[in-house]
Amino acid sequence: MHTITMTLFDWAILLVYLGFVVWVGFFLKKFTKTDEDYFLAGRRNSAFVAGVAFMSANMGALEVVGYAGQGAEYGLFALHFYLIGAIPAILFLGIFMMPFYYKNRIKSTPGYLKERYDEKTRVLNAISFSLMTVLSAGISLYALALVLKTFLGWDWDLSIWLSAGFVALYIILSGLLSAIFTEIMQFFLIWGGILLLPVLGIVDLGGPGKAFANLPAVYTHLWSIAGSAADNPMKLDWPALVFGLGFGISFGYWTTDFLIIQRAFSAKDVRSARLAPIIASYFKILLGFVVVGSGMVGLALMRDPHSGFALLHTDGRVNYDSVIPLLMMRYFPPGLVGVGVTSLIAMFMAGQAGNMSAFNTVWTYDIYQSVINKSASQKNLIWMGRAATVVGILLSIIGAYWAKSMPTIIDYLQAIASWILAPAVAVILLGMLVKWISPDGAFWGMLIGTIVSFAMFMALQLGWITPGAIAPGGTASAMAANFWRALWAWLISSGIAVGVSLFTEKRPEAELVGLVRGLSVKEEVAEIPLYKKPVFWASITVVVFIILNIVFW
């Protein structure tokens, strides 16, 4: 049994953090007077605050622990999740999509589908998104319980219930307001806990020039090994990366997942809302090198027979998700262990809280108010949001037990995205770009795309088909199957939406003003300096993105 030795000072750091988070929930409760306060933090945040919260909502257990495990398994190739798998979609959200979302005062992503299409499309997306959030929250609970049990010796089941109850407490009190406040605090705490790991590891391995010198080339390049599935450890080729990960999954997540977009919605104006994801893109790139770099340190140590470093094994297989806690055990002295363990718990709680605040918003606005109680008062909406949080937490506990049966948390996460997000982004993008896509086309495109994608996943899980049946060429890994399944889901959803729209009634153009490109009302915009424009800051990210892909080609 691996356990981390926690000194009294380490425990004090952890307990102070937990106590402060609960206090924040009680303190902010008095500022939560309207449904917009509870679900959208009053729409009064600056671009920087919204951007940090946007990024922090993405820095949960899945992000840090899961992708560090990918770095330990696949080396630098895992950086694709942060570059092609994130940056283009984040910038597209900030530059192109956010004005459509924000200017119409839409309170959720399904809310856009209601305005652009109709009620049934909104409800379908709300139901599927709610399912995704509780499954993702279940992954966070499972990962937290795994860490607490494996490295602190706590009971697995007790860890799940205690952590679920703790997150429920401060989200129930003040909703997104407390989630964003604690996410900002967690943002800096997480950096404090993980930023040193790759630095200490590289020093231990002999410095920047020697740290990864003994790793085979397949672990130290991005694109030169993506020519065919046989050339890289992830067993996929560049079309799977570009079209599956870079478009199907990435655009599905970053442009439609209300969990993170909700943070940008909390900005005080449309310029701040557009800047929020662009600001987050800088942190996203840095986080990629910290997280994947930590995983690569673990990979290099595992390949050194004299290091004495080995990952845990679960059910007879290597548990790559254990690399971050094990590196903390190796490099952090007493005192710093407390910061590390607290940062791990902050990661899990950030992911859990983000999922629950998104779940209660979508459930309350897009299902409860839309279908069940159309005349609900503000007080009733807040009450329902708190009740939804309790139900969501309980459902996420069930999801945690399901997550335990999956090979890795990243495989599971990508699978969920291929079922739900890829069909959603197909319908949303068509709605923003093409005015003649009809409500029936959108509904049936999303529904059939989701059903087909999930059917492919279950056929793979049950052994009826192999990953090669989903990926062109016949040879693929489970991860490649996730990427290709997302692309097929997008193509099927788009094709059906277009086909059905040709024969069904369209919305009048007058009802689509501000919702579709080319039908927006031109506004008088005050001239601002270049350095304040979202496009300027996005262009810097683009330059950095291109340089990194060339350097690590």
Q: For residue range 92-137, list pLDDT tens digits in order.
A: 988 887 877 776 666 667 777 888 888 888 888 888 888 877 787 7
End-to-end alpha-carbon separation of the chain, Å? 40
Please indicate, yes or no, whether the overall pTM of this predicted structure exceeds 0.85. no
Mean pLDDT of 325-350: 74
| CATH number for the domain whose boundaries are 8-551 | 1.20.1730.10
In three-state secondary structure terms, 546 is: helix
pLDDT in tens, 512-524: 887 787 766 555 5
Residue 39 pLDDT level (bands cut at 50, 70, 90): very low
Q: Coil, strand, or helix at residue 267?
A: strand
Calculated CA dihedral for residues 12, 18, 22, 28, nearest 10 degrees = 100
> Measuring CA to CA, how many Å separate 526 from each of 230, 271, 523, 529, 533?
54, 12, 9, 10, 12
Instruction: List C-alpha distances in Å: 535 to 94, 204, 383, 524.
Output: 9, 41, 40, 18
Higher pLDDT, 189 or 38: 189
* Mean pLDDT within 536-542: 90
Cβ atoms of 356 and 393 closer than 8 Å: yes
What rounded mean pLDDT belongs to the chain? 77
Express each pLDDT in 16-32 by its tens digit.
Answer: 776 776 666 566 555 55
**Would you list the DSSP string of 102-150?**
HHTT-SSHHHHHHHHT-HHHHHHHHHHHHHHHHHHHHHHHHHHHHHHHH
543 or 12, higher pLDDT: 543
**In which band, very low, low, confident or very high, does the pLDDT at 498 lie, cut at 50, 70 and 90?**
very high
Q: Pick the range with the lowest mean pLDDT from 170-174, 259-263, 372-376.
A: 170-174
Phi, then psi, of 256 in degrees rounded to 5: -130, -15
